Each structure stands twice: as structure tokens, then as C-alpha cells.
Amino acid sequence: MHGERTAWTPSAPVDPEQACPVAPVVDIVFSRWTTPILWTLNYQGRQRFVELQRRITTITPKVLTQRLRQLERDGLVVRTYHPEVPPRVEYEISDLGRSLAPLFAQLAEWATAHLGDVERARHAYDDTGTAAAPQHTPRR
């Protein structure tokens, strides 16, 4: 197995920034607030700004506005403006955003199966005092 080429193994030298084919997806989808927004819109359906803010309680209005604009720009969220008095704006996940649902489902499954392992590994690491000891000394 060692030395075999896989989808993760580049065939030629690659720019380190471009080495991982999923890096752009991670940058788009897994930024701090994107995942909770997409998750909410996917499972709760169309939401007004205030409803989203109520469901994602720790996000500030400014950051929610910024993330929604970016998600709309990326094509993952659709914004609908209703010219009423007072005006009403609703957000919903787009078909492109919805296509991420299987990925989120797999990640949720992984989380259920393995977050306990991660927590145990963290405790074991912290209990050894390794965190306080330097792993190597930088060369000068």
C-alpha cells in the first residue's frame, strides 16, 4: 500500500497551496458560519434573516449578513426579496447548496462515530503533559 498512487497522490510536483483537491471546497463550505447556515436552511427550509439569527444564536447580525452574501455569491443560497411594506427578504438553500447534503450526512455520521475518540485522544495527549513540552528545537 505504501508508495501506491491514489486520488490523494499527485502524479507530478504540485504547488503546496493546490496540492489538496478538496481545499477549495473546505474554504467555501467549512468556514466558521457557513456550515450552520447551510445546515439550518437545509433542515429548516426557507428562513427570514431574523429567523436564521434566532436559530444560530451566537452569530452577530453583521457576520450573518456577510456570510449570507458570500453564500449567495457562491450560488449556495438564494435570496428572495419581496417588495412589500415592510419589505421581506427570505433565504433558502439552492440546488447547488442542497447537493452538499450527502457530504454533511457523512460528516454527521463520522462525528457520531468518532468525536468520542477525538475527545479521548485529546485528554490522553493533555494528560501526558506533551502539550507543554516542545516537540523539537528550531534550527538557527
User: The whole model's pTM is what?
Assistant: 0.71
Residue 82 has pLDDT above 90, yes or no: yes
Query: Does 52 map to a domain?
Result: yes
pLDDT band at 101 (very low <50, low <70, confident <90, very high): confident
Query: Does 6 map to a domain?
Result: no
Average pLDDT over residues 83-103: 93
Residue 19: strand, helix, or coil = coil
Residue 79 has pLDDT above 90, yes or no: yes
Domain count, the chain: 1
The Cα 5–Cα 83 span in angstroms is 56
Greater model confidence, 50 or 9: 50
Residue 98 has pLDDT above 70, yes or no: yes
Residue 105 has pLDDT above 70, yes or no: yes
Task: Let me know: does 52 contact 98? Beta carbons within 8 Å.
Answer: no
pLDDT recorded at residue 138: 57
Query: Does 27 map to a domain?
Result: yes
Task: Let me know: does 89 contact 78? Beta carbons within 8 Å.
Answer: no
Query: Does 3 map to a domain?
Result: no
Query: Does 132 map to a domain?
Result: no
Query: Does 94 map to a domain?
Result: yes
Query: Does 5 map to a domain?
Result: no
Domain that holds residue 78: 20-126
**22-69: pLDDT as tens digits:** 888 888 888 889 999 999 999 999 999 999 999 999 999 999 999 999
CATH number, domain containing residue 111? 1.10.10.10
Average pLDDT over residues 58-81: 96
- The bridge status of strand 47-48 relative to strand 77-82 is unpaired
Query: Does 58 map to a domain?
Result: yes
Neighbours of 40 (CB within 10 A): 17
